[in-house]
Amino acid sequence: MSPSILWALFAVSIPLIIHLISLRQTRYEEFSSLRFIKLLEHKTIRHLKINQWLLVLLRTIAILCLILIFSRPLIKGDSVNNFIGDIESRAIILIDNSASMAVKINDISLLDRVKSTIPELLKVLEGQTTLEIYQTNPPQKLYEGSYLNESKVISKVEDISQTFLSDNIWEFTDSLINHIKASEPNLECYIFSDFQTTPKIEADSLLNYDKWTFYCINQPNVNNNISIKSVDILSEIMLPNHLIKLNTNLGNNGINEVKNVPIELFLNNERVGQVVSQFQPNKYKDFMFQVFPGKTGIINGKIVIPDDDYLLDNYRNFDLVIPNQIAIKIISKSEDELFLLDLALNAITGNTGLLHVDKKLSSNIDRIFLNNFDILLIHDCPKLTSAAIEDIQRFLMQGGGLIWFAGNELEESEPLLWPSLLKLPELLQKVSLDGESFFSTTIVEENNSLFTDLDIVKLEDELPQVFSYNEVRLQSNHLPIIKLNNGHPLLIESSSFGSTGFTFTSKLNLRWNDFTIKGLLVPVLHRMLILLATKEFNTQAILVGDIKTIDIRGQDINDDWTVISPSNNEIKLIPDYTNEKLQIIHTKELGSYNVYINGEYFSSFSTILSPNELHSKINESISILKSVSMDNIRIIESDKNFSNILKDIRYGKSIWRLLLIIALTCLVLESLLGIPNKDRLKTNIE
């Protein structure tokens, strides 16, 4: 503004002064006759006076507007700060370089759009402003100094790279502002993001920083984007010749309907399935794939759709584990007790070598070394010491599976404590029938993976008859699968220490049941072993940037470990010697990682995008901010004239154009009103 020009406002009174002076002056005009003057009506005289005062008013307004134009008035901006040319200020620029900023609008990524906007922002800043620039991934200060050093500022901004990582822009901003010690009168924070995370108004405390003004520069919504939201492996039984079911969920985050979208399934880079569909805006669909793996080992899978404006959610990696050998540790009191169990296991493995069995036979077991085993199978458990129980607990916490055939454990002289310590069903009493009596059995969880798609014509005919069993007390983590006709469970699925286990309340013995001569035992036991062995901890997917833990065997701890990233970078790994694990921290790429031991393939895992980085058609963050009255937060759409809008918000909006229009309008009206109406005057005289 130029308030010094306002001294000229006295000129506003000039039309009024001239008018008043003209009223005091008497003008003499010679007329041949007063006859025509007397013919003028009284209301005509009044109309002329009103017209004169209107002319005075229009001339006054025109002069006022012209003076105000030269004083450059502004409509006060929304900013809570009043800016003076040389006032000290601190401006913080936060640039979101998370995965979602890779969205392209007119072939330019959102991150590149932000970079091109920074020079415009520098032109808006003025005075003694200290500038700080931060990126969100990884959190890092890139610059601190004067905003006038434009070349250095732009260079630092251009060096910001696009990442696959996720962030919470609100938590980041809150943490950053909380640690900045600024004493300047004017404090501003410019947040350049697409705001994919939703703010929690109570938790995210931007409202608490009333000395700061926050400018949220929002980015345009994506126009064309089909997104792979999830891939779920539905089958729990993994066999080379067994159909594996996968479900994938996709949706349209764009603004237009998209037709003929091919959705392809790849296993080990070979396409094994495809479906074509169309997507309405903001609608999601589920698609089911069924495929035979055809081989054992770890299989790298991928769901792929065509490229669009957001490439990162156009593919999704996953890993399947088809065991080629299952290592089983069996503990029991004697070899005689295992005869029928051996027959069942031999029927499962045949000539395939699928099962590697190691037995520990003793009436009293001090320690159980389970590092190299997938499953612990307990049949009529011998006495376990506290050290042996701790070994089993550690095994379960590392993802091992457990199968327990309960027998004569209650005959021990000491109280039976280890089932409760392992979170297994607690044995109460042994129940036996005399003569030829028996308990019939029924499957109560028919949809359990143990029974789905079994190649048995009449399943009910293959259920066992039970003569003796252990009555048990169940907890919330126990699920009965097969029950006796008295309601007591025969087969129970349990979850403990993050692992799955199965408990039979009757051991494999013809005096206890006829399970071994029924056709159900071998397929159920086979599926049970596969199910427990294929819950592979090492291949579980993680979010990009998270730490991946790989379990390794103690005997391999000193070997050479490496991981190959999706971009084929080789990274040497140093094991955690205490816990016998690999901790992989270099997971900032999106895709499949392969782990090698001494140059030989060991395992794989995939990284996936955070749900916060999947674009949404409706930006809930901006909607929430607009719905809540917050005086210190301003929202600016970057696809408009950014610099001019920011100037208007910070300094106020100039109104000289409006004043000029008003002045010109007044002058035009003054000219029109000042023209005498001869026709009307003539009519009145006549």
- Give per-residue pLDDT as tens, 62-73: 777 777 777 666
Which of 148-157, 501-510, 577-586 is predicted least confidently?
577-586
Tell me the per-residue pLDDT of 75-108, one tens digit each, with 9 for 90 and over: 554 444 444 445 688 999 999 999 999 999 989 9
Closest to 573 (Cα-Cα) out of 225, 565, 102: 565
User: What are the residues whose beta carbons fall under 8 Å from the beta carbon of 23, sequence distance 6 or more?
Assistant: none
Residue range 108-129: mean pLDDT, rounded: 89
Tell me which amino acid residue 360 is: K
DSSP 13: G
Query: What CATH code would you report for 226-252+262-323?
Result: 2.60.40.10
Residue range 364-391: mean pLDDT, rounded: 91
| b (16+ CB within 10 A) / e for 198-230 | bbeeeebebeebeebbbbbbbbebbeebbbbbb
Tell me the per-residue pLDDT of 555-572, one tens digit each, with 9 for 90 and over: 788 999 999 999 999 999
3-state secondary structure of 37: helix
Amino acid 531: pLDDT: 85
Tell which wins on pLDDT, 199 or 654. 199
Residue 314 CA to residue 285 CA, distance in Å, equals 15
Output the six-digit token pair for 428. 């109460």
Strand order in the sheet with 186-193: 140-146, 128-135, 88-95, 186-193, 212-218, 633-637
Residue range 382-405: mean pLDDT, rounded: 91
Identify the CATH class of 538-608.
mainly beta
Cβ–Cβ < 8 Å for 142, 160: yes
Residue 73 CA to residue 68 CA, distance in Å, equals 7
How sure is the predictor about 509, in pLDDT bands with cuts at 50, 70 and 90? very high
Tell me which amino acid residue 377 is: L
Domain ranges across the chain: 3-73+655-685, 90-221+619-651, 226-252+262-323, 326-533, 538-608
Residue % of the chain over a pLDDT of 70: 83
Residue 585, pLDDT > 90, answer yes
3-state secondary structure of 613: helix
Residue 376, pLDDT > 70, answer yes
Instruction: Report which secondary-structure segment, H or E, holds 218.
Output: strand 212-218
Amino acid 295: pLDDT: 86
Identify the CATH class of 90-221+619-651.
alpha beta
Residue 530, pLDDT > 60, answer yes
pTM for this structure? 0.71
Tell me the per-residue pLDDT of 120-168, one tens digit each, with 9 for 90 and over: 888 888 778 899 999 999 999 999 999 989 999 999 999 999 999 998 8
- The strand pair at 244-252 and 226-233 is best described as antiparallel
Amino acid 29: pLDDT: 59
Residue 637 burial (10 A CB sphere; 0-12, 13-18, 19+): middle
Hey, CA dihedral for 511, 516, 519, 525, is it positive or negative?
A: positive
Amino acid 223: pLDDT: 87
Residue 494 CA to residue 503 CA, distance in Å, equals 8
Residue 652 CA to residue 74 CA, distance in Å, equals 5
Output the six-digit token pair for 466. 């039970």
Residue 354 burial (CB count, 10 A): 19
Amino acid 318: pLDDT: 94
Residue range 341-366: mean pLDDT, rounded: 89
DSSP 203: T
Amino acid 203: pLDDT: 44
Amino acid 10: pLDDT: 64
Residue 452, pLDDT > 60, answer yes
Residue 683, pLDDT > 60, answer no
Which of 233-247, 516-530, 617-631 is predicted least confidently?
617-631
Amino acid 25: pLDDT: 60
For residues 108, 111, 115, 116, the Cα torsion angle rounded to the nearest 10 degrees is 30
Amino acid 501: pLDDT: 92
Residue 526, pLDDT > 70, answer yes
Residue 52, pLDDT > 50, answer yes
Instruction: Please state, rounded to an integer, the average pLDDT across all residues of the chain.
Output: 84
DSSP 220: P
Amino acid 423: pLDDT: 93
ω into 138 cis (within 30 of 0): yes
Cβ–Cβ < 8 Å for 225, 313: yes
Residue % of the chain over a pLDDT of 90: 45
Tell me the CATH architecture of domain 326-533: 3-Layer(aba) Sandwich (3.40)
Same fold, 90-221+619-651 and 326-533: yes
